[in-house]
Amino acid sequence: MSRMRLLCFNIHGGRSLDGQRDLKRIHHLMQRLDIDVGVIQEMETRPSRGGLPDDVENLAGPERPFHLLCPSMLEAEGWYGNLIVSRYPIVRGLIHNLETRPSLEPRMAADALIQGPHGHLRVIGTHLSLSIYERRSEARNLIRLIKEVEEEVKSPLLLMGDINEWQRPSALLRFLDSHLTPAPCKATFPSLCPVLRLDRVWYEATDIKITAHRIYGKDIRKLSDHLPVVIELEWL
């Protein structure tokens, strides 16, 4: 039996609840948790928001040299959006535009095909809108775009991110659950007293046991306004 470990984390632009911005804290967390692939939301490298040119490297570290940048907003010398960092090569990287109408913050999805030790693994990270109407439209677009990608051999697939869905019952969650299998996980927001399940994981895979659990601790809960989620993969 072999394992991989992924991290799904909305990092709040890299700014901790103590007001400090230090992406090396995220790197240290991934090291401590032995993370193979990091799926990050609210990655911020824009100078006007405190970003630096080496922010991606500081977060990923030399242990995860393969990166898929997925900007949703651009500045002359920086960007904001989703990011995937990996210990293993990203052999194909796609950026899906989920928008159906202009928005203050366009919504995108990073779609990475990773050559792991057990073959290809398709990892998709996204961050949906606060508006329920936009979220539903974005989710429909996301599933359509995922299915439109041609693959010679179908790879195990993981979809994760800040879905921003807190309502129950939820037509959006029923829709996503009808296409992919959800991996249950406890509430992640707000990090100091989590009551909302905003960060979620789905998968499509056989012969792999997939579980998701939030990470909660005194030091971790101050890293962002969200708690991180760790996804464990076990090849049977």
78 closest CA partner among 49, 40, 57:
49
Q: How high is the pLDDT of residue 211?
A: 98
At 168 the pLDDT is 78
- Give the chain's residues under pLDDT 70: 1, 100, 102-103
Q: List, in sequence order, every residue forming a beta bridge with 109; answer none if it has no partner.
A: 96, 126
Q: What is the pLDDT of residue 103?
A: 67
* pLDDT at residue number 105: 81
Neighbour order of strands in the sheet with 37-44: 66-75, 78-86, 37-44, 2-10, 229-235, 208-214
Residue 76: predicted pLDDT = 86
pLDDT at 17: 92
The number of angstroms, rounded, from the C-alpha of 8 to the middle of its chain's C-alpha atoms is 5
pLDDT of res. 151: 83
Question: Helix or strand or coil: residue 125?
Answer: strand
Task: Report which of 54, 51, 59, 49 is spatially closest to residue 83, judged by C-alpha positions.
Answer: 59
Interval 154-211: pLDDT, tens: 999 999 999 999 887 899 999 999 999 999 999 999 999 999 999 999 999 999 999 9
Distance (Å, whole) CA 161 – CA 182: 12
In eight-state DSSP terms, residue 189 is: B
Contact 224, 198 (CB under 8 A): no
For the chain, the first-to-last Cα distance in angstroms comes to 5
In this prediction, residue 141 carries a pLDDT of: 96
Helices (H) and strands (E) in the chain, counts: 4, 12
